[in-house]
Structure 1
C-alpha cells in the first residue's frame, strides 16, 4: 500500500479502491486511506470500550485501536477469524486498524461510477456514501469517518474551535462548499455561520458545484460578486475535490477563485496532489479553526 506507483495522477477524477468483504457483502475503502493490510494479530481488550472497538494492538511501536467493521455495520461477526484481515488506515490525522473478513482486490475506477445512495435506503445516519457497480455486483463505498465519529464524537468538527477565535463580525462574502456528507454539511453550516460567514451555498459533489460555478461565469458580468471562495472535500461521488479544483483553476474566468481543500486525506504523503491541481490551501479535517482563519485570509 505504500508503493506510490499505484497512486493516480491528481485531478483525473479517478481513484483506486480496496474491495473487502463482511460476510457476503462487498465494501470498499479508498486506497489513499490504506497504509497496509495485515493478517490478524492478538488484540488487547479495553474495559468499557465502545461496542465497535475490539481493543488495541501494537504495530512497529505504535499502539492503534482496532475497529470491528462488522459490529459497526450491524452485521454478523466472522465465522473464520483466522482468515480475516486487518486494514491499517490513516485519515483525520490518526491511524486506525479496521477488522474485515477478507480483502479481495484493488480496482481502478472513476468517481463518476460511484452513485450517491438513495435517501430511501440511506438515511441520515448511514455509513454508506456511494454505490459502485462492478462485474455484476454492488460494492458499497463506506464512510469510515462516520464510523470513527460514532465511536468518538470529539473527533469531529467542534464549534468550540470557532468560539476560541473570539467575537467576529458578520461577513457578506459568499462561499461555495462541496461536501457529500449530510452530517458534515450541517456541521460546516453551523460552524461557519458562527464564524460570521452567512452566505453559504452547499453542493453534494464536485460535479454539481462546477456546473453552478460555470453557469455563474457565463451569465454574470462579474462572477466575483457572486462567489468569493470555494471549499471542497476530496472524496465525493461523481466528481472528487481534486478534479473540481483542477477544473476551476483551468477555467478562463474561474481560475482566480481561491480554493481550499478541506479533507480527512490531507497528509504529508498526499498533500502534493492538491498542490498539483492548484489548491490555494489544504486543511485536514476536523481543524475548523484553521479553516476559518484561512478563509479570513483568502477572501479579503
Structure 2
C-alpha cells in the first residue's frame, strides 16, 4: 500500500502550476473522499491499536509505526458519520499537518489523481457551515462522473485539539502595538477553521480582518481596489495566503500579484499546514515575503509586527 506514495517527493513540481494531486479513498461507503497528497506521509493497513483511556472520542487509539507512536483518528466518525465496527478492510493515512503527525483511519484507499485547481470547486452553499469539506471535484470512473469530497482536515483536528490563540507577553512589542488599531489584513484560505485561527489571533492586536475563501476571490478584490485608483498598501497592511485552494492556489495568487505593477509590492506571507523544503523553495520562486507553517500565534504576531515596523520606518523587504 505504501508504494502508492513512493514518488510523492517528485510531485512537488506541480505546486506553482495551479495543479494538485489528491489521494482518493472511501469510508466504508461508495462515496469518494480525498486529501492532498502533499500532506500524506504514508498509507498502511490498519495495525493493532493501543487504546488511550480518556482521549477524545474520535481518537480510536495509538499505532506504533517503526518505533513512533502515532494517534489514529476515526475519520468517518470525526466528520459526523456513524462509527463503522468492522475494521478488517481499514487502512490508515499518516499525515503531517501544522508540524504534527497523525493518522486517519479510512476504508479502501483507491488511487492518486492529478488535477488542476480549475477542476476543484467550493462546497455547495446548501451544505451549510458545519460541513467538513474545503472543496469538491468530480472524477469519471467507467464513464460515470463521481463526486469527490475533499476533507477539511484542519477543522477535524481543531475539534480534537483546541487551538490556543494566546500570545506570549515577551512577543508583543509595546512600542508599536497601538499602531495596529484601524489597520487591516487580508486572509486567504479555503478552510474556515484556518481563517478563524488567524482572525482570532490578530484580532487581539486590534487588527481588522478581510477574508477570502480562495485565491481568485482575493485577486479580484485586489484588482477591484486598483481599478478604483486605490493603493492596496493603504487598504491592507499585508496578506496571509494558504498554499492550496480551489479556483487559484496561493502560489499562483502571489505570482499574479507580483506581475501586476499596481500591487506588486504587497507584503505577502504564505501560511500553510503543508510542510517540507519545497514550500520554502516555492516561497522564493514566486516572491512571498514570509513563510509560516501554521498554526503559530506568536509567529503570526511577529510577522505582522515586523511588517508594521517596515511601514512605520518607510522600508520594505522581501525574503
Query: Normalising by the residue count of structure 1, what TM-score does the alignment of the two structures yield?
Result: 0.90
Q: Deviations over 1:201-243 (max 9, x none)?
A: 2111110101111222333164432233111112322112121
Whether the 8 Å CA contact 1:10–1:274 is kept in 2: the answer is: no
**Once the 2 structures are TM-superposed, how far is the Cα of residue 122 of structure 1 from its aligned partner?**
3.1
Aligned length: 295
Aligned ranges for residues 235-250 of structure 1 at < 5 Å? 235-250=244-259
What CA distance in whole angstroms lies between the structure 1 residues aligned with 2:58 and 2:255?
A: 38
What CA distance in whole angstroms lies between the structure 2 residues aligned with 1:138 and 1:222?
A: 41
**Structure 1 counterpart SS, 2:63:** strand
Alignment CA distance shift 1:227-1:160 (3 Å): closer
What CA distance in whole angstroms lies between the structure 2 residues aligned with 1:186 and 1:75?
A: 24
**Once the 2 structures are TM-superposed, how far is the Cα of residue 111 of structure 1 from its aligned partner?**
1.8
Aligned to 2:134: 129
**Once the 2 structures are TM-superposed, how far is the Cα of residue 79 of structure 1 from its aligned partner?**
6.5
In the alignment, is residue 45 of structure 1 matched against residue 58 of structure 2? Answer: no
Whether the 8 Å CA contact 1:246–1:278 is kept in 2: the answer is: yes
In the alignment, is residue 56 of structure 1 matched against residue 66 of structure 2? Answer: no
**Once the 2 structures are TM-superposed, how far is the Cα of residue 97 of structure 1 from its aligned partner?**
1.0
Bigger shift: 228-237 or 57-66? 228-237
Whether the 8 Å CA contact 2:166–2:297 is kept in 1: the answer is: no
Whether the 8 Å CA contact 2:232–2:266 is kept in 1: the answer is: no
In the alignment, is residue 182 of structure 1 matched against residue 192 of structure 2? Answer: yes
The list of structure 1 runs, each at least 4 consecutive aligned residues, that deviate by more than 3 angstroms after superposition, is 76-80, 162-167, 266-270
Q: Deviations over 1:255-291 (max 9, x none)?
A: 2111101111143453322232211111111102111
Point out where structure 1 has 5 or more consecutive residues left out of the alignment: none
What CA distance in whole angstroms lies between the structure 2 residues aligned with 1:33 and 1:128?
A: 16
Aligned ranges for residues 29-44 of structure 1 at < 5 Å? 29-44=35-50
Root mean square deviation of aligned Cα: 2.1
Whether the 8 Å CA contact 2:158–2:193 is kept in 1: the answer is: no
Aligned to 2:117: 111
Aligned to 1:195: 205
**Structure 1 counterpart SS, 2:64:** strand
**Once the 2 structures are TM-superposed, how far is the Cα of residue 184 of structure 1 from its aligned partner?**
3.4
Alignment CA distance shift 1:2-1:290 (3 Å): farther
Alignment CA distance shift 1:165-1:195 (3 Å): farther
**Once the 2 structures are TM-superposed, how far is the Cα of residue 114 of structure 1 from its aligned partner?**
1.8
Which of the numbers 243, 266, 278 marks the counterpart of 2:287?
278
Which of the numbers 24, 34, 49 marks the counterpart of 1:19?
24
Query: Normalising by the residue count of structure 2, what TM-score does the alignment of the two structures yield?
Result: 0.85
What CA distance in whole angstroms lies between the structure 1 residues aligned with 2:100 and 2:189?
A: 21
**Structure 2 counterpart SS, 1:254:** coil
What CA distance in whole angstroms lies between the structure 2 residues aligned with 1:276 and 1:99?
A: 36
Aligned ranges for residues 146-161 of structure 1 at < 5 Å? 146-153=155-162, 156=163, 158-161=164-167
What CA distance in whole angstroms lies between the structure 2 residues aligned with 1:201 and 1:55?
A: 39
**Structure 2 counterpart SS, 1:169:** helix
What CA distance in whole angstroms lies between the structure 2 residues aligned with 1:249 and 1:9?
A: 20
Aligned to 1:83: 89
**Structure 2 counterpart SS, 1:28:** strand
In the alignment, is residue 68 of structure 1 matched against residue 59 of structure 2? Answer: no
Point out where structure 2 has 5 or more consecutive residues left out of the alignment: 311-319
